[in-house]
């Protein structure tokens, strides 16, 4: 695969690609030899708004020709690392609406809408851990005109350690979502949100499985580590359970010490509430002493604390017993393809709920004035 100044530069759509760009037509399928192409069970369509005479102008092809992916991903084989991705999207003759996700289901940009004749350029930063950069395009009228991918080290990394309420849920579980997978789209491209949260983990099991070691190995001075555990610490499982005022605090302190040793900034986040209401519409606190213990530790160690438990209580109670279902995985049979029998889940979130919680995290970053993170908010 050719490269342009250490970049992968792709020109999408039918017709001759622009000089020095890699042409991607609607029928370009991924294989390991070329190292790029579309992948999935859907279809890709293409349009070229130029006539043959105009096509000789070369550079205009970048905007006038494009692909329309329907249920397909664009995959590029790249070495593991951090990458800056630039996309250009638009159409000379039609309004467009494009949603871009990276990897399994990470939200990396706000929805991109353009009116007829308008073209927008957007940037985001992603980490690649398995040698494949996967871009998922969807929306009411998606377009791909141009994509460039550049290795970069000029970024501030926000690491996330947590459980299923934070993790990047797989696309096969849609609309399941953790608040951590919605967070990248709320930052400018100067910040990489590297989400290491994993379903079913506690503050203890996350460490014992070596997941904190992976974060510490990548961590640099000035980075941030956001830490949210509690849901699984509360369980009696001997491989995960902790005691609030002893082993829970002790394990959380390991994260704090590890970050400080790398001259990074740890931030504690109280566990988001589950959807359990009393008959009078007041939310039942299922975390109890774990919230108190985390708050004590934040004071003892002098680290910032985002009280997502308090924020989520307000959000869920304002929505009410029935209204709060819109945030959680409460779905009807037949409502979503991935869950034909419906779901009644009071712990995990739909994308809308995960986004509301991610927005609360952003709001607390502002209130706590966590610089330079605050400076890079969209």
- Please pick, among 54, 209, 300, 344, the residue that the annotation labels catalytic: 344
Number of domains in the chain: 2
Residues 208 and 353 in one domain: yes
The region, left, alpha or beta by phi > 0 then psi within -120 to 50, assigned to residue 229 is beta
Does the structure show a pLDDT above 80 at 1?
Answer: no
Q: Measured in whole angstroms, how far is the alpha carbon of residue 188 from the centre of its chain?
A: 13
Confidence of residue 353 (pLDDT cuts 50, 70, 90): very high
Of 116, 151, 186, the position where a domain reaches its end is 151
pLDDT of residue 104: 80
- Say whether 104 is catalytic: no
Of 114, 133, 115, the closest CA to residue 124 belongs to 133
Q: Which residue has the tokens 């490269």?
A: 3
The reply to whether 344 belongs to the active site is yes
Q: Is residue 1 part of a domain?
A: no
- Which CATH number does the domain housing residue 258 bear? 3.40.50.1110
The answer on 322 and 245 residing in a single domain is: yes
126 shares its domain with 183? no
Model pLDDT for residues 112-157, shown as the tens digit of each residue: 999 999 999 999 999 999 999 999 999 999 999 999 999 998 899 9
Domain with 19, as residue range(s), is: 8-151
Asked if residue 198 and residue 143 are part of one domain, the reply reads no
For residue 33, give the CATH number of its domain: 2.60.120.430
Terminal alpha carbon distance of the chain: 34
Q: What is the pLDDT of residues 42-88, one digit of tens each?
A: 899 999 988 644 554 555 788 899 999 988 999 999 999 999 999 99
Pairing of strands 224-228, 265-269: parallel
Q: Quick check: is 3 in a domain?
A: no
* Residue 200 predicted with pLDDT over 80: yes
Phi, psi values for residue 308, rounded to 5°: -70, -25
Please tell me the predicted confidence (pLDDT) of residue 2. Answer: 40
Q: For residues 140 and 2, give the distance between their C-alpha atoms in angstroms, rounded to a whole number.
A: 32
Looking at 88, 312, 348, 351, which residue is catalytic?
A: 348
| pLDDT over 60 at 289, yes or no | yes
List pLDDT tens digits, range 97-112.
Answer: 999 999 989 999 999 9
Catalytic residue among 65, 164, 205, 324: 164
150 is annotated as an active-site residue: no
pTM (two decimals): 0.93
């Amino acid at each position: 695969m050719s490269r342009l100044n250490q970049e992968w530069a792709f020109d999408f759509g039918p017709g001759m690609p622009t000089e020095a760009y890699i042409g991607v037509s609607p029928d370009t399928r991924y294989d390991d030899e070329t190292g790029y192409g579309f992948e999935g069970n859907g279809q890709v369509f293409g349009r070229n708004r130029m006539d043959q005479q105009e096509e000789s102008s070369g550079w205009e092809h970048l905007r006038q020709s494009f692909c329309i992916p329907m249920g397909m991903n664009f995959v590029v084989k790249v070495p593991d690392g951090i990458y800056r991705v630039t996309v250009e999207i638009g159409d000379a003759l039609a309004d467009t609406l494009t949603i871009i996700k990276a990897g399994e289901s990470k939200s990396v940009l706000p929805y991109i809408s353009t009116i007829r004749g308008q073209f927008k350029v957007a940037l985001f930063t992603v980490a690649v851990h398995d040698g494949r950069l996967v871009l998922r395009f969807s929306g009411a009228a998606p377009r791909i005109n141009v994509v460039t991918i550049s290795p970069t080290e000029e970024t501030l990394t926000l690491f996330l350690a947590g459980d299923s309420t934070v993790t990047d849920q797989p696309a096969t579980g849609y609309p399941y979502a953790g608040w951590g997978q919605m967070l990248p789209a709320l930052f400018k491209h100067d910040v990489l949100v590297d989400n290491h949260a994993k379903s079913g983990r506690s503050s203890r099991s996350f460490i014992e499985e070596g997941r904190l070691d992976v974060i510490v190995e990548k961590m640099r001075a000035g980075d941030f580590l956001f830490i949210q555990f509690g849901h699984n610490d509360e369980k009696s499982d001997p491989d995960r359970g902790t005691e609030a005022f002893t082993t829970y605090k002790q394990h959380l302190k390991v994260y704090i010490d590890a970050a400080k040793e790398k001259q990074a900034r740890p931030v504690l986040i109280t566990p988001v509430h589950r959807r359990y209401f009393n008959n009078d519409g007041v939310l039942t606190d299922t975390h109890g002493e774990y919230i108190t213990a985390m708050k004590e530790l934040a004071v003892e160690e002098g680290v910032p604390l985002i009280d997502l438990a308090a924020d989520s209580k307000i959000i869920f109670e304002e929505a009410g017993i029935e209204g709060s279902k819109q945030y959680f995985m409460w779905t009807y049979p037949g409502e979503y393809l991935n869950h034909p029998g419906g779901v009644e889940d009071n712990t995990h979130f739909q994308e809308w709920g995960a986004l509301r919680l991610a927005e609360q995290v952003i709001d607390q970053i502002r209130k706590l004035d966590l610089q330079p993170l605050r400076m890079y908010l969209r």
